[in-house]
Amino acid sequence: MENRVSLYNSYDIKIGETFTRRARQLVRQQRAMWTDDSQTAIRFAPGMENMDTTAEDLHEFEDGLAPNQLCFAPWHDNYYYPAVISDVHPNLVKLAFLDGYTGSVAPGQVLSLQEGFDALHFECKYSWMGFYKGAVISQEPIVFQYYEDGIMEQTELRRLRGLR
């Protein structure tokens, strides 16, 4: 049986494990270097830990985060937006937000769809006029009721954002 090698990013944060043969391949490609002579851990060169991810580098964790899962995750403006998980590492979740942007957050910041619907105070994008506060009345299909005028409309997940 092949030994496992710990993977560290360029900031010395453990991001996972791989097999010895894959670690040797990464070192040969100059994407990483051994941390010591025992060859039990490698450290990625800056910006190289996310290139060419293979199935053995992907993880599903106890909190249920997994690639291709829909979720709510915070953006730089502190609002939570709908996203799809593209990759999961022990200290980092990579996301593809439904509006086309990408980002990364700590696993504890990601909310499942149901957690988001239960915990967030929502706004919905109304045409070109911006976001308006209201409530999600139904989740399947998504029906949103605007507080300002009481109008209800069926909407898409990508038009929602929420605050905790």
Give the model confidence (pLDDT) of 68-93 as tens digits.
889 999 999 999 999 999 888 888 99
The overall average pLDDT reported for the chain is: 83
Give the per-residue pLDDT at 2: 67
21 within a domain of the structure (yes/no): yes
Distance between CA 84 and CA 86 in Å, rounded? 6
In a domain, 100, yes or no: yes
Q: d(Cα 142, Cα 61) in Å, to the nearest integer?
A: 29
Identify whether residues 37 and 81 lie together within a single domain. Answer: no
Stretch among 5-9, 49-53, 92-96, 118-122 having the lowest mean pLDDT: 49-53
| pLDDT at position 15 over 90 | no
Number of folded domains that form the chain = 3
pLDDT number for residue 22: 79
Q: 120 by DSSP, 3-state: which?
A: coil
**Any domain includes 40:** yes
Domain annotation covers residue 64:
no
Beta-bridge mates of residue 30: none
Higher pLDDT, 119 or 63: 119
Query: pLDDT tens digit string along 115-160?
Result: 999 999 999 998 778 899 999 999 888 999 999 888 899 999 999 9
Are 92 and 130 members of one domain?
A: no
Q: Which of these, 101, 102, 108, 104, lies nearest to 93 by C-alpha position? A: 104
Examine the domain organization and report whether 109 and 147 are in the same domain: no
In a domain, 11, yes or no: yes
Residue 151 inside a domain? The answer is yes
CATH number at residue 148: 2.30.30
Shared domain for 75 and 41, answered yes or no, is no
Mean pLDDT of 86-110: 90
Residue 96 located in a structural domain = yes
pLDDT at residue 63 in the model: 58
Residue 82 structural domain: 70-113
Model confidence pTM above 0.75: no
Mean pLDDT calculated for residue range 60-75: 78
Is the separation of the CB atoms in 96 and 87 below 8 Å?
Answer: no
Residue 60 has pLDDT above 80, yes or no: no
To the nearest whole percent, how much of the chain has pLDDT over 90?
A: 41
**Do 47 and 77 belong to one domain?**
no
63 lies in a domain?
Answer: no
Q: Are residues 104 and 126 in the same domain?
A: no
| Same domain, yes or no: 51 and 94 | no
